Amino acid sequence: MKTGLEYLANKKRRCYDAPDADPMGKAKLLEDAQHELMKHHWDTFCTEPLSIAEGGKGVIVPGCVACRKLLYTNNQYLSHLALDVLPGILEKVSRAPTE
């Protein structure tokens, strides 16, 4: 009779499914979600046309360039990703047709 440790040592365990054993296309869905998330980065952007020659009154501000949302702190940026960006990504992924 095997002890518990011998049983666990001999048993092959997987923490996750291999991509080739992925019938629902989870790897593709994950890749699409990651691609969408990576579009959002914290940088600076101009609020309006900056050039005075163009009649601009723009100001350089920090925030999410993809959304053009004003964000001043790292915490605000992470909250933006969690509360604004992630729900949209999950909605797109849930509507995506699986193969």
**Considering only CA atoms, which of 81, 11, 72 is closest in space to residue 39?**
81
- How much is the pLDDT for 84? 94
- How much is the pLDDT for 8? 54
Q: Are 65 and 46 in contact (CB under 8 A)?
A: no
Q: Taking the domains of the chain in order of start, what are their residue ranges?
A: 41-99
Q: Is the pLDDT of residue 80 over 90?
A: yes
Please tell me which residue, 12 or 52, carries the higher pLDDT value. 52
- How much is the pLDDT for 14? 54
User: pLDDT of 18-71, one tens digit each?
Assistant: 555 555 677 888 888 888 899 999 999 888 877 666 677 788 899 999 999 999
